[in-house]
A and B are shown apart, each in its own frame.
Chain A
Amino acid sequence: MGQDRRGFLKLAGLAAVCATARESLTRLAGAAGTEPRPSAKAPKVRWAMVVDPRRCLEQQNCTACIDACDHAHNVPAFTNPRHEVKWIWKTRFDEAFPDQDSRYIDPALTSEAVLALCNHCDNPPCVRVCPTQATWKRDDGIVAMDWHRCIGCRYCMAACPYGSRSFNWEDPRPHIAHENPDFPTRTKGVVEKCTFCDERIDRGELPACVVACKEKALVFGDLNDPDSEVRRLLRTRFALRRRAGLGTQPEVFYLV
């Protein structure tokens, strides 16, 4: 009888371990496993951007998109370069794509600066670390900012592998040349970044940079719509994503 009871307890213990292990192992493997898959409640739209650097290079030294964004969002121009605030900016090709072996890519592309902005990652590390949910992913994929909530801890800046986020080390108000009264400024001690113009998207308009680009080097659209322009471009041409190996699932694509 004693032998039976011991056997039963062993079996029961083993069963309990098996029952719990699967869940904790999935959880250990990463956040992806713990969140309900999108298929459970498929979002209607998934905004994304396709950048065509070749078209961008048609206009040497053009900054139309950057200027439009900076003005639309009251982005301050601090004199101290270490305090620079950037929403959309130009960066060296090898800095934008450090994991890309660019030796044999067309030098016309790799020797020139390329546009960079927040990638509105599908698996955004900045969102995971924000202690106040001042930054979060909307149902339509936009990684939004709630400046009312930001406490300026800068965890998100440490988490973002693209340097997409900037901190207001000073009061930005005196550093905005032409204020846009329809958009707020930020205060000292708050983080800011590209918001995919969520204020314009909600009104049914395109992002300010997309509208400003005469070369149509920036294309914005819905990844969930197979007939959208972004899907058509991604179907017909090869595209890079910045540091895709990190698993952040960036949703800004660069045509090569």
Chain B
Amino acid sequence: MRDRGRIVTGLAVFVAVALAPVWQAALHGAARRPEPKIVTTAKQCVEPTAAMRRDHMDLLYAWRDTVVRRGQRTYLAADGKTVTMSLTGTCMKCHPNKKEFCDACHNYLAVSPYCWECHIEPKEKS
């Protein structure tokens, strides 16, 4: 057991590194939840907020396919109101602050949707 010292040190370093998220959180406080900033005065989005938070990507995919593949451009929401299915024309009219709205969560979660490679994002003061 001549190597006991080294082994224990090695183990200690390993445990410290493996538990880095835990002691980091204890030291600096848990990572802040992203808070997308809502600038619109509209009371509700196309669908209720909880549904939008959970399913907006599916809604956008459905909109994309309905508009592009079927040429239908009007969406009938669950509450009976109709909206034009358009990312830049509808979504971004209420949420022109892409950096504080879209990117807030997407960056936090490290997802990079490629919408903006083609669709033109609203002009923002950076």
User: From A142, which residue of chain B is reached at the shortest CB distance?
Assistant: B71
Q: Is B118 an interface residue (CB 8 A)?
A: yes
On chain B, which size bracket covers the interface?
10 to 19
Contact in complex: B122, A185 (CB < 8 Å)? no
Contact in complex: A181, B122 (CB < 8 Å)? yes
Partner among B69, B73, B119, B120 whose Cβ is within 8 Å of the Cβ of A203: B73
* B122 CB to nearest chain A CB (Å): 7
Interface residues of B in 74-98 (CB under 8 A from A): 88-89
Q: Could you tell me how many residues of chain A have their Cβ less than 8 Å away from some Cβ of chain B?
A: 19
Q: Given A146-B68, A148-B64, A148-B68, do A181 and B120 touch, yes or no (CB 8 Å)?
A: yes
Q: Is A184 an interface residue (CB 8 A)?
A: yes
On chain B, the residues within 8 Å of A97 by CB distance are: none
Residue pairs across A and B with CB atoms within 8 Å: the count is 30
Q: Is A182 an interface residue (CB 8 A)?
A: yes
On chain B, the residues within 8 Å of A198 by CB distance are: 71
Q: Is A186 an interface residue (CB 8 A)?
A: yes
Enumerate chain B interface residues (CB-CB to A < 8 A): 64, 68-69, 71-73, 88-89, 117-120, 122
A-B contact pairs, 17 of them (CB 8 A): A138-B71, A140-B71, A146-B69, A147-B118, A179-B120, A180-B120, A181-B120, A181-B122, A182-B89, A184-B120, A185-B118, A185-B120, A187-B117, A187-B118, A198-B71, A202-B72, A202-B73
Enumerate chain A interface residues (CB-CB to B < 8 A): 74, 138, 140, 144, 146-148, 179-182, 184-187, 198, 201-203
